[in-house]
Amino acid sequence: MCRLLRVSGRSMEPLYREGDFVVISKIPFFFRPVQVGDTIVFRHRVFGVLVKMVAETHHANGEIFVTGIQPESVDSKEFGAVRIREVMGKVVWHIQREKK
């Protein structure tokens, strides 16, 4: 129902910083399909479990395009579309690392 994950990497900074925790869930998708602007976690066959932001949705094809915030982000501009069925959940709770 819900999963707790820890963010690694910096492509989503400054919104999601390395070491932050996120709780993800598929429940929101029962009420509203994945939408542009959602922060999601999905499983990629090469890069593993990734956290990115949805940039485009193509529900008819069952595909979405994802993006990071930093220009060096490895995302859909690198690996193309993501199948919606590979989405593990939407970030529903963000527990930020305490600022030093």
Partner 1 sequence: MFYKILDVADRILHFKRASAHCDIPCGIYDPHQAQIAALTVIRMVDLMGELVANEKVEKIDFNNSMARYIAVKEEHAELCKREVRVIFGDYFKKEHVEKYPELPTLTHHIFQLGSKCRQTANRQTALDLLGLVNRFAEIYWETKAVPTKRVKAPYKPGEEIVYPIL
First-to-last alpha carbon distance for the chain, in angstroms, is: 33
Amino acid at residue number 68: G
Q: Which one among 56, 64, 74, 82 touches partner 1, defined by CB under 8 A?
A: 74
Q: What tokens does 68 get? A: 């990071």
Q: Which one among 16, 38, 54, 90 touches partner 1, defined by CB under 8 A?
A: 16
Interaction between residue 28 and partner 1 (CB under 8 A): no
**Nearest to residue 52, comparing CAs of 60, 44, 62?**
44
Q: What tokens does 18 get? A: 């390395």
Whether 2 and 24 have beta carbons less than 8 Å apart is answered as yes
Q: Which one among 22, 64, 82, 87 touches partner 1, defined by CB under 8 A?
A: 22
Interaction between residue 47 and partner 1 (CB under 8 A): yes
Interaction between residue 3 and partner 1 (CB under 8 A): yes
For the CA atoms of 8, 10, 12, 18, what is the dihedral angle to 10 degrees? 40
CB of 33 to partner 1, least distance (A): 21
Note the residues at the interface with partner 1 (CB under 8 A). 3-13, 16, 18-19, 21-22, 24, 41, 47-52, 68, 70, 72-74, 78-81, 95-98
